[in-house]
Amino acid sequence: MIDRLRRLLPGGLGGLTGLVCALCCAVPFLLAAGVVGGAGWALFGKVLPGVAIALGAATALAWWWWARRPPARPRDADGTPAA
């Protein structure tokens, strides 16, 4: 379970970070197109950069946690650890 989490977490958080970063960059275009109003601009303009930074930090922490795991030990053909 933990090994699976270690493999999936950096990629998942990296995708979320990229999505929030792209949305943060798209807010001015959405505002100009009339999709987002003044209240939306106030909310997104203040919240999304912080969310993007927090997700970026979480991604870096997850990558560090994944990278520091010990290397896999060799195993015999039956799946038991080699001597």
Over the stretch 3-62, which tens digit does the pLDDT of each residue have? 666 666 677 777 777 787 787 788 778 778 887 777 777 777 788 788 888 888 888 887
Q: Is residue 49 part of a domain?
A: yes
Q: How many domains does the chain have?
A: 1
pTM listed for this prediction:
0.60
CA distances (Å), origin 48, targets 2, 16, 45, 55, 76: 30, 12, 6, 10, 50
Q: Is residue 78 part of a domain?
A: no
Q: Is residue 33 part of a domain?
A: yes
Residue 35: domain span? 25-67
Q: Is residue 12 part of a domain?
A: no
Q: Is residue 36 part of a domain?
A: yes
Q: Is residue 54 part of a domain?
A: yes
